[in-house]
Structure 1
């Protein structure tokens, strides 16, 4: 079976897919019922543990465990702390001590690679928000109702249309692509999971950037 002995490319695409799941599935869920999102984290860990006990599925269990850590961190932050942008990265790094310990023991490398790629991608994206001055809007939007958030979102989108934002975007793309290409030159599946998480972050960022700019352009035509 293909899934029983996955090739590095499979890890790459799986990691890329898993990076997009929290954005398109967890984000709306966590706003409505953060407790449910938190409980789903337990489910991910349980499934990962079952897979890790079987040698033929161990790599997939490791990958799912890395994803479970990211899901748990997202549940905590976006469920209860989303109005504090400066807490985003510390909460996302909640599993870092466990990951470092696992790397030292050479255990769960695929999952740790995915988690680190996701964390670094988050750090670079957050750095971009700081660079363009969108952090104040982050806090206000998180505290506002949907009706109040629309004009605030439009002001935040305007931050993307400055020379400063263009410079930051070039730096963001360069960092994510550079780190991803570096990882793809390695042969271990953990490196490919790392690359998939990074490049998946780039794709999601690019998608949201294009949507934001196109929405802003449409509004100016009205």
Structure 2
């Protein structure tokens, strides 16, 4: 296993990331926060189209992420960034597996995304690699909240249909799904889960340790990613409605 290969080489003390004092401390905290938010966004804008067209390449690129993270970990100046990237590698691996070969079945989404959970728990038990582990847990928490919303609002059947439909045939499915979101239950569920994400993310920011900043960055960026997805859906829906009206007018 990866854990048995790395742990004997890198001592526990080397990945506890003692913080510098003063301004450098504060700057590093926000850099970790921003990097975590950025890494959560990468799968949406980069991995999603890649894994749909070339799932094997997406899966094999996990090796590249792992190699880069280990290179950074072995350098005293970049250990914290390697630690963070190691957590991202686990998320990338899970995303490659699910969206490459299992995306048609939403019930498997969260279990597959949890593939790195045992390793993250092991790291925390050993007080090793906290930044990457907390980033992974924050990302997984955001995924769980998003999936919960799909379950609560009855969007899972639409998920299956969209994943099996050709791109040009997906818009009517999106229209029906948006109808589910616009109900009172859909709006209330969204508000409650948004509050949960905000509370959990902001509570993490109260702790000034690097690993909690990584966790908060991953959790709060879920709001941004989900928000962009909804905006994209509504924009596509408006575009299609206008196009249909023009066709009817002609």
TM-score (norm 1): 0.94
Is the contact made by 2:29 and 2:210 (CA closer than 8 Å) also made in structure 1? yes
Deviation at 1:70, TM superposition (A): 0.4
Deviation at 1:86, TM superposition (A): 0.4
Tell me the residue number matched to 2:35: 14
Instruction: Please show how residues 127-206 of structure 1 align to structure 2 within 5 Å.
Output: 127-206=148-227
Is the contact made by 2:142 and 2:219 (CA closer than 8 Å) also made in structure 1? yes
Provide the rounded CA distance (Å) in 2 between the counterparts of 1:28 and 1:59.
29
Provide the rounded CA distance (Å) in 2 between the counterparts of 1:123 and 1:159.
19
Instruction: Please show how residues 1-222 of structure 1 align to structure 2 within 5 Å.
Output: 7-220=28-241, 222=245
Deviation at 1:132, TM superposition (A): 1.1
RMSD: 1.5
Is the contact made by 1:160 and 1:213 (CA closer than 8 Å) also made in structure 2? no
Deviations 1:3-48 (A, max 9, x none): x986100000000000000001000000101000001111000100
Greater relative contact order: 1 or 2 (C-alpha under 8 angstroms, separation 6 or more)? Answer: 1
Provide the rounded CA distance (Å) in 1 between the counterparts of 2:192 and 2:64.
37
Provide the rounded CA distance (Å) in 2 between the counterparts of 1:176 and 1:55.
34
Q: Which runs of 5+ in 1 are unaligned?
A: none
Higher CA-based Rg: 2
Is the contact made by 1:118 and 1:198 (CA closer than 8 Å) also made in structure 2? yes
Question: Which is further off, 157-166 or 34-43?
Answer: 157-166
Total equivalences in the alignment: 219
Deviation at 1:211, TM superposition (A): 2.6
